[in-house]
Every structure is written in C-alpha cells, then in structure tokens.
Homo-oligomer: A and B are copies of this chain.
Amino acid sequence: MIKEGDTVHLKSKKDSFFVIVKQNEEFSTHKGTIKFNDIIGKNYGDTVLTHKGEEFLILKPTLYELIMFGIKRHTQIIYPKDSAYITLKLGLTSGMKVLESGIGSGGLTIVMANALNPDGRIYAYEKEEKFLKTAMKNLQLAKLDHIVVPHLQDLSEPIEEKDFDAAFIDVREPWLYIENVKKVLKRGAPIGFLVPTTNQIVEVLKELKRLDFIDIEVEEILQRHYKPVPDRLRPEDRMVAHTGYLIFAKNG
C-alpha cells in the first residue's frame, strides 16, 4: 500500500513522471492535476485520474528508472550499463565495506548500495557539499541511504576508515590518490576507476603498476538499442558511443 514519502512512477500512454507522494499536496501535468491523497492507500498497479479525467497507472519505480529519470542530477551520472557492471566486477555483496570517491549524484552509489544490502557499507568521500547532499537525498529516494556513510573530504586528506573490501574512484585525476587508497584497502581487494580519456587510463595504469597492483584490466561497455518493430527489426540509427573507460585491479 502506497504511503506518504514513497516515490511513485505515474505513467500514461505518453508520459512518465517520478514523484514523491506528499499528503495534502498535488502534482501538475499538462493533462491535469493529480491529488496525492488520491494515491495514498492505493497499491502499485492501480490507476489514478487527473482533474481532467486523464488516467495514470501508479507504478513502483525500478532502481533503473530511479537512476535514469527519478534522481536529481548535478553531474553527468554513471550509466546503468556501467554501474551495473562495476558493481558486479567489484563483487559487492552484503557485509562488504566499500570506499567510493567522488559520489557525484549518487547514480553508481545507489546500485552499489543495493548489492551491499543489508550489512555492507559504502564510505563516500566527496569534497563538494552540494553533491554529497543531493546524492544522499537520491539514496533516500531509493531507500538505500542506511548503507552509505558520507564524508565531506577528498582523498588527498588522510582516510580514517581502514580495511576496505573494495574501492571505486571516479575523480578527474585518480592517479593522485591511489597510493593513499592502497593503505586502507585489504590485500587482494579490488579497486575500480572510470575515466573518460585514454590519457587518464595511461596515468592510472602507470600508478597501478608502480604500486604493485595485480590483475589490471581496462575495458569499456557499449550498449546498442534496436527499434522494437517485429517486421522491420533493426538497430536504432544512433547510439551513445562513449561514457567512460573502466579500469579494474587488485591490491597485490
């Protein structure tokens, strides 16, 4: 049953809205206004009418949809094709202690936190206060904020937490911080990076080799969409050609 504070996906034939339900308030669309009180108490899969009589299906947003359409963004988010793979490649599972920096808008943090549920923790290091605030709000939207411990600092400052099981670094010059992170990473633990340019890959690789990291891998994930027309099946005309390169290694 849907209650105050839940995030719902309101879907008509043409439109999709992701909103937080607030008692006694309402939500305006170009097809008319929806009273949240008409939603509270209903179940996912039920419908609600605007004051103009337009029907909207009330759906529970998937994590994927929250990340792509529901969360507030200050920064370019890490795409699901990448965040899903990063989370699996780092092997995140309940009980693990993970270092993340920066947190950006929390797109990756949500996916990682879900894999770490219920007993894992992400220690998120971020120097921009507004990013940290937005990301924590986005994690609340996904009901995963209990997994994340925010730290308003970057990785050039001493890291107080220790014995991390995994780390993921998404900052402009990650090579500056690898030595610092290595000190708080368990032996054998995986570390990951996302960088947009080949020059950054080169700098990260040099530093990983200097610091005796092992199992170093560089890869990229590409996603190609098709037009879902059964008698004229073909790829979409255009695609996203690049989000970032992924680098993985282990603390050797």
Contacts of A9 in B (CB 8 A): 188
Are B93's CB and A63's CB within 8 A? yes
Q: Given the known A-B contacts A218-B226, A226-B218, are A197 and B45 also in contact in the complex, defined by CB atoms under 8 Å?
A: no
Q: How many copies does the complex hold?
A: 4
Chain B residues with Cβ under 8 A from A197's Cβ? 232-234
Residues of B with C-beta under 8 A to A160: none
Contacts of A226 in B (CB 8 A): 201, 218-220, 245
Task: Tally chain A residues at the interface, Cβ within 8 Å.
Answer: 77
- Can you list the 9 inter-chain pairs with the closest CB atoms, starting with the nearest? A62-B91, A45-B187, A239-B241, A235-B242, A218-B226, A84-B84, A198-B198, A84-B88, A59-B188
Q: A84-B88, A218-B227 are in contact. List 14 more A-B contacts (CB 8 A).
A: A9-B188, A62-B190, A63-B91, A81-B221, A83-B88, A84-B84, A114-B115, A202-B230, A206-B230, A221-B222, A225-B241, A238-B240, A238-B241, A239-B239
Q: List 15 A-B contacts (CB under 8 A).
A: A59-B250, A64-B91, A80-B88, A80-B89, A81-B221, A115-B115, A196-B234, A198-B202, A199-B233, A203-B230, A205-B233, A218-B227, A228-B247, A238-B240, A239-B239
